[in-house]
């Protein structure tokens, strides 16, 4: 991996990716709690919050909306993704090339999902290798969505499994590894140690209440993590800017959970 401390996708060396690839991965069901979130322009507006270091979207959304926001939003082009209708062993179709992301979309980073433990692991690792090497040619940071899944995985949030996923990110040249929270600060410390010097960020996951969510983010930061990639825990809220204020305080200002939530109503 390479240092991305001065990259547009970081702020003071920290990362907060606003993820909005859910239309491919999960379908319209994710937008039901806040129907306006189905409108990409609504989420692009959220991504102008100063805490957000990049917005992760697929090719079609970037083509349609990013030209209007390129001065205010840093684009992370999500290169692969498969619908929730897929019923086979975990896999992810490559939907966009690094070349297209860089030259046509104006992306300043790329993201790619890998499912270690799937029967399709070998092909996905080879696809990631191509992406990582081409991204180097364009000087684009690479974020690996490192999600162990498939017949070879019994518990994808077990500390050792998450640490293995993060280590794979480092070994394969990812600049940032996005992983699930392993349940405790101690476990997360081990995850970060195994990935160093690759930055480790937590996957935001399903919507939870404010305190539970911010406490998990605080634990990640205290364990040596570099931030967060979050979707539903932001844009499924009625007041997404308020939770982003809290996340900004925890990630970039080293605030306590109570300090971060002081201005955010519970369960907003």
**CA-CA distances (angstroms) from residue 154 to 36, 66, 117, 257?**
36, 39, 10, 32
Instruction: Report the C-alpha gap between 178 and 121 in whole angstroms.
Output: 17
Give the dihedral sign, CA 146/150/156/161.
negative
**CA-CA distances (angstroms) from residue 113 to 97, 129, 223?**
14, 12, 24
Catalytic residues: 178
Contacts of 115 (CB under 8 A, 6+ apart): 90, 91, 92, 121, 124, 147, 148, 149, 150
Instruction: Report the C-alpha gap between 156 and 149 in whole angstroms.
Output: 7
Q: Is 199 helix (H, G, I), strand (E, B) or coil?
A: strand
């Amino acid at each position: 991996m390479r240092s991305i401390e001065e990259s547009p996708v970081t702020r003071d060396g920290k990362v907060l990716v606003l993820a909005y690839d859910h239309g491919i991965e999960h379908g319209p069901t994710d937008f039901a709690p806040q129907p306006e979130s189905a409108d990409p322009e609504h989420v692009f507006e959220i991504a102008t919050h100063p805490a957000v270091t990049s917005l992760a979207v697929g090719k079609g959304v970037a083509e349609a909306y990013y030209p209007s926001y390129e001065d205010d939003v840093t684009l992370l082009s999500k290169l692969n993704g498969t619908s929730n209708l897929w019923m086979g062993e975990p896999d992810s179709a490559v939907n966009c090339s690094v070349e297209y992301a860089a030259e046509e979309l104006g992306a300043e980073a790329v993201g790619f999902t890998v499912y270690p433990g799937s029967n399709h692991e070998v092909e996905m690792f080879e696809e990631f290798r191509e992406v990582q090497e081409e991204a180097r040619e364009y000087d684009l940071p690479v974020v690996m969505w490192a999600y162990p899944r498939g017949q070879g995985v019994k518990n994808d949030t077990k500390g050792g499994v998450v640490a293995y996923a993060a280590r794979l990110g480092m070994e394969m040249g990812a600049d940032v590894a996005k992983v699930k929270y392993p349940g405790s600060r101690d476990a997360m410390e081990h995850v970060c140690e195994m990935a160093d010097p690759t930055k480790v960020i937590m996957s935001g996951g399903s919507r939870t209440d404010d305190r539970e969510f911010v406490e998990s983010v605080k634990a990640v930061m205290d364990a040596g993590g570099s931030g967060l990639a979050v979707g539903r825990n932001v844009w499924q809220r009625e007041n997404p800017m308020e939770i982003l204020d809290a996340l900004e305080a925890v990630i970039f200002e080293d605030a306590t959970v109570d300090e971060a939530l002081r201005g955010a109503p519970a369960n907003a």
